[in-house]
Amino acid sequence: MRSFLSIGAAASCLLSNVVATRIPARVGARAADSVVKPKVMIVSMFDPEADVWYGIPEFDVLAMNITIPGGSPLFPDVHCTANGDVCQYTIGESEINAATSIASLVRSPRFDLTTTYFMIAGIAGVNPEVASICSVTFAKYAVQVALQYEFSQFEIPTNFTSGYIPLGAHSPQQYPTSIYGTEVFEFNQDLQHWAAEQARTASLNDSSDAVAYRANYGVNAAYAAGAAPPAVYECDVATSDVYYSGTILGEAFGNFTTLITNGSGVYCTTAQEDNATGEALLRAAIDKLLDFSRVIVMRTASDFDRPYPGEAATTNLFWAEQGAFGPAIENIYLAGIKVVNGILDGWDGQFARGMNASNYVGDIFGSLKGSIEPDFGPYTYNNNPVKRSTKSMRRKTMKPVRVL
């Protein structure tokens, strides 16, 4: 691993070709460090997701490496094109790595992210009720599904549908009464629609093993989408450090997604980071370091979250040759490049200004104080239910939350 100093020296040599997107260092930044203002920041979680962006014909993100103090020891550098327009950052897997890496990035003096589009681009498990393996999905919601009570399967009351119970509730179907703030994030739906449209122009990768495996799901009409060829979907992502698998937990977390989004979320993919990434981005957005309406969450489907009828859950997770990992990785690039190029090509006409969301964007607390009210959440904090109907009321009631 290279030290921060040597990277800084290397970067300042590279930076001698001054480019339009670079602006003078902010007060407080090291004199030798110039500030990079990316148009797009691609966020990967581990090597295979990152590698698809290296050695591609469209741009070279390995032209400039910038070490981020506080980043994952495995992935110390943000990688950028020479002109700083496109960067790629690997944040590490699971919630703690994701939150810590993003929190470090958004407060790095080496970057101005105020107009940057963040494209979270990773693989995920997929719900066969909504989509098939190798598909590409864009989320409106990210839901932290395992932020709940849990009993061992040996102690679950016989009348409970799963061992997970929302915090502060007394049964699985009850709405939580204790809200931490990271349960749900809602992203810009206009940007989600636009990104999905771009991705639909891509021709997606698939494999013969995946074709054979998904056909098994066709015997259950509820899994018709799981048996269909890969496509681009707009549906929501679950976040859980626990890599859960099987029909019962898939349904339980699907139910929780429905519950916590007041019926508007559709659980389709499961991964280990997006709510953590979302929270770190949201906190930076509160401090005006970035624009939360410029976040895209793209997940490609690398495996089914549950077995097909008749198959053991363990077979689906451990032993089956689903054949979707390679195509899902490939599809991050095939679909994602359309989104990145769309932003770059449309920068001057539209994307520099931003794309206003016609839906609420932000967290369950309404922390961003936008003009649109949250369409989910009970707005409770520390078990104190807070009724809000007006903006002025929200300001008052949200204040204690923001100082924490």
Count of CB atoms situated within 10 Å of the CB of 258: 16
Closer to ligand NAG by CB, 89 or 308: give it: 89
Contact yes or no for 24/71 (Cβ under 8 A): no
Closer to ligand NAG by CB, 40 or 361: give it: 361
Closer to ligand NAG by CB, 226 or 327: give it: 327
Closer to ligand NAG by CB, 314 or 356: give it: 356
Whole-angstrom distance, CA of residue 79 vs CA of residue 383: 43
Contact yes or no for 368/181 (Cβ under 8 A): no
The SS3 of residue 256 is helix
Closer to ligand NAG by CB, 218 or 346: give it: 346
Whole-angstrom distance, CA of residue 239 vs CA of residue 226: 20
Contact residues toward ligand NAG (CB under 6 A) are: 62-63, 65, 77, 141-144, 157, 159-162, 171-173, 175, 182, 184-186, 205-206, 236-239, 248, 251-252, 255, 257, 262, 265, 274-275, 278-279, 282, 327, 330, 353-354, 356, 363, 375-378
Whole-number minimum distance, CB 164 to ligand NAG, in Å? Answer: 8
If you ran DSSP here, which 8-state letter would residue 372 be given? S
Residue 368 exposed, middle or buried by CB count within 10 Å (0-12, 13-18, 19+):
middle
Nearest by Cα to 361 from 139, 160, 213, 156: 139
Closer to ligand NAG by CB, 37 or 394: give it: 394
Question: What are φ and ψ of residue 213, in 5° steps?
Answer: -70, -45
Closer to ligand NAG by CB, 216 or 380: give it: 380
Compute, in degrees rounded to 10, the torsion defined by CA atoms 74, 80, 85, 87: -20
218 token code pair? 């066709």
Whole-number minimum distance, CB 343 to ligand NAG, in Å? Answer: 14
Whole-angstrom distance, CA of residue 36 vs CA of residue 33: 9
Q: Can you say whether the dihedral through the CA atoms of 112, 297, 190, 253 is positive or negative?
A: negative
Closer to ligand NAG by CB, 71 or 327: give it: 327
Whole-number minimum distance, CB 232 to ligand NAG, in Å? Answer: 15
Numbers of helices and strands, H then E, in the chain: 11, 16
Whole-angstrom distance, CA of residue 186 vs CA of residue 293: 9
Residues in CB range of 1: below 8 A, 6 or more apart = 73, 76
**Residue tagged 């032209």 (tokens):** 63
Q: What angle (nearest 5°) sits at the alpha carbon of residue 41, between those of residues 97 and 331?
A: 85
Closer to ligand NAG by CB, 144 or 319: give it: 144
Whole-angstrom distance, CA of residue 303 vs CA of residue 64: 34
Count of CB atoms situated within 10 Å of the CB of 215: 12
Whole-angstrom distance, CA of residue 1 vs CA of residue 390: 52
Whole-number minimum distance, CB 122 to ligand NAG, in Å? Answer: 13
Closer to ligand NAG by CB, 104 or 182: give it: 182
If you ran DSSP here, which 8-state letter would residue 159 be given? T
Closer to ligand NAG by CB, 26 or 396: give it: 396
Q: What angle (nearest 5°) sits at the alpha carbon of residue 107, between those of residues 337 and 34?
A: 75
